[in-house]
Chain A
Amino acid sequence: MIQVDEKGFYGNFGGAYIPEMLYPNVEELRENWEAIVASPTYQEEFQSLLKDFVGRPTPLYFANRLSETFGARIYLKREDLCHTGAHKINNTVGQIILAKKLGKKRIIAETGAGQHGVATATVCALMGMDCTIYMGELDIKRQRPNVERMRILGAKIVPATSGSKTLKDATNEAMRAWIADPVGTHYIIGSVVGPHPYPEMVARFQSVISEEIKWQLKVKEGRENPDLVIACVGGGSNAAGAFYHYYNEPKVRLIAVEAAGHGIHSGKSAATSVLGTPGILHGSKTLLMQTEDGQVIEPHSISAGLDYPGIGPVHAHLHEIGRAEFVAVEDEDAMKAGIFLSRTEGIIPAIETAHAIHALHQIKFDADELIVINLSGRGDKDLETYIHWGNY
């Protein structure tokens, strides 16, 4: 059984390695989140927002020409059609209602590419809550449109100027901000990372993805379980959501697609499952890219959403026990796959998602097998990267 234990571990990975100053915050969440989320008033508000605000259920779309090309039956789970353009909002809706029920007045979040920041700023605007987003100084420059979207939505952007000035530093800054205001603030972590209970909580909010895949597939194919589920992994929230209800269905192959950057061993990569070793990052024990001395290495991927030096503890566990297969896709191949999907299905995917599309070339499957790819986000935010790449 793939299941988190009482202390927040998935096998050897997880836990809550946090400074004492954060203990009361994390403990408050740990003690209360499940009961609150299970309550009828919570569920009523959550389900209604998922339906009318986010636009769920998202379609499970049979990709005809993609299927023909690869000789399989391929469905795309259209998370790109969620409000704000990616799956990220499933989690922010879930957490903002929780924060409100916990009596929090202020929300903080970290963001890399800006998708989680936009999804957080959006729900804060919806609920009239004060919102501060921590973002690496470098990412602020690279992701201008998302920065402005957050500002339009009323969020305050604080640049992380320490370290490499990217996602991991933004996460550090957000944790510090939480330490500085532990009573009034809720920290909306955007992926299945961080101290327990975050990884499981975020996975649960994203699990709506596989919940819907199950019944949608039943309607379309007469069966709930596909042969393969494919999703890209940075921290791993969309993958956790797409895998969640299939964790314990051993016949369903779970394919986690990481970013190989310029090549797995090029020194410019984010293929954590290959390059990572067990260690502690942002409050949990997981696989992370680090030096021999235990210093965290700055990863590289052309897609800012996969540019993270660790993976969520659940994915480290799935990797260790061999439940999920990990493949790594290089920058160039992901870009080509993005263009390919645009022209075969009329969908410009986020570059993160394009990695998952390209994985079809890197894994073996039989003709007529049933494949679901989680189309985690749309490519609007990546237009500049596509233009800069130029090869289309």
Chain B
Amino acid sequence: MNRLTYLFQTKKERVLSIYVTAGFPKLEDTLPVMEAIQASGADIIEIGLPYSDPIADGPTIQESNTIALENGMSIKKLFSQLLGFRAKIHLPVVLMGYLNPIIQYGVEEFCKKCKEVGVDGLILPDLPVQQYVEEYQEIFVKYGLFNTFLISPQTSEKRIREIDQQSSGFIYMVSSHAITGAKAEISPEQEQYFERVAAMNLSNPRLIGFGISDAATFQLASRYSQGAIIGSAFIKNIKNSNDLNRDINSFIQGVIG
């Protein structure tokens, strides 16, 4: 069974997914950071594949991408780091990245490697639903990879239903008209949007991302969905860390309480 399926079957609320850029803050930090995230009590690890032009991300994550690329991170390097990681990590692991580096690597080869090392799912923000269905779905399914799509406050009900049908694992609810890390608070309009989608009884669980940074926003998001994703705030927390284990533990404990 895919680890994401198992997670959402056994944990229905307050699911916390933590995003970290691969090879950040230092090239060889990928695995130690993942271990620390697991030890601190988070539920999903989302690993970002660094890209030169991450248009759906804000300045904090873009900067971490730039640093990771300067550190020498690449898909090839990441797979070599992830080789054998399942001996230590039991949490579901999702890779988040932009399409171009994956196309250059080879989509089928990429999916095959994901399966080999033990990756559970993918989030590719610039892969539209239609292209996915036409070109990639068959390959993803062949290698047992779940694919998460994003929805935003502007996504129509009809399209949310369509996305729900094509998603596996969970749906990534973008909390606002924003890029990651842009806002630190949740407005009443956003709450209405959360309520509206919650009432749709979608078949996939929903995690809310963008603008989730601390215990208060995590709790609020968890009221309307199965949980939330934290990226930029986590990246800021480890950017200049001298003690990753300590800082990651205090950050995640601070969020889940």
Query: Using a CB–CB distance below 8 Å, which chain A residues touch chain B?
Result: 7, 15-21, 23-25, 162-163, 168-169, 172, 175-176, 179-183, 277-283, 290, 292-296
Contact = CB atoms under 8 A, between A and B. Distances in A.
B237 to A, nearest CB: 21
Q: Which one of A16, A24, A25, A162 has the greatest number of beta carbons of chain B within 10 Å?
A: A162
A182 B154 contact: yes
B99 A180 contact: no
B128 A17 contact: yes
Contacts of B66: 162-163
Interface of B: 51-56, 58-59, 62-63, 66, 69, 74-76, 98-105, 125-131, 149-152, 154-156, 159, 163, 174, 177-179, 182
A20 B178 contact: no
B100 A176 contact: no
Contact of A290 (B62, B100, B177): B100
Given A17-B131, A19-B126, A294 B103 contact: yes
Given A180-B177, A290-B100, 10 more contacts: A17-B131, A20-B125, A20-B129, A20-B150, A179-B178, A182-B154, A292-B104, A293-B74, A293-B105, A294-B105
Contact of A295 (B52, B59, B177): B52
A295 B126 contact: no
B18 to A, nearest CB: 21
Contacts, number: 111
Contacts of A24: 152, 154-156
Nearest to A20: B150
B128 A23 contact: yes
Contacts of A183: 154, 177
Nearest to A174: B55
A292 B104 CA distance: 7
A278 B55 CA distance: 19
Contacts of B51: 294-295
Contact of A280 (B58, B126, B129): B126
Nearest to A296: B52
10 contacts: A17-B99, A20-B129, A21-B154, A179-B55, A279-B104, A283-B126, A290-B104, A293-B74, A294-B101, A295-B69
Given A19-B55, A162-B59, A180-B177, A293 B127 contact: no
B174 A20 contact: yes
A188 B182 CA distance: 23
The 3 lowest CB-CB distance pairs between A and B, nearest first, are A294-B104, A294-B101, A20-B150
B102 A294 contact: yes
Contacts of B56: 19, 21, 176, 179
B168 to A, nearest CB: 16
Q: Which one of B98, B103, B129 has the greatest number of beta carbons of chain A within 10 Å?
A: B103
A163 B58 CA distance: 12
Contact of A296 (B53, B74, B103): B53
B123 to A, nearest CB: 11
Q: Which one of A24, A169, A281, A282 has the greatest number of beta carbons of chain B within 10 Å?
A: A24
B104 A21 contact: no
A163 to B, nearest CB: 7
Given A23-B155, A280-B103, A179 B53 contact: no
Contacts of A292: 104
B104 A293 contact: yes
A282 B99 CA distance: 11
Q: Which one of B55, B63, B177 has the greatest number of beta carbons of chain A within 10 Å?
A: B55
A168 B76 contact: no
Nearest to B101: A294
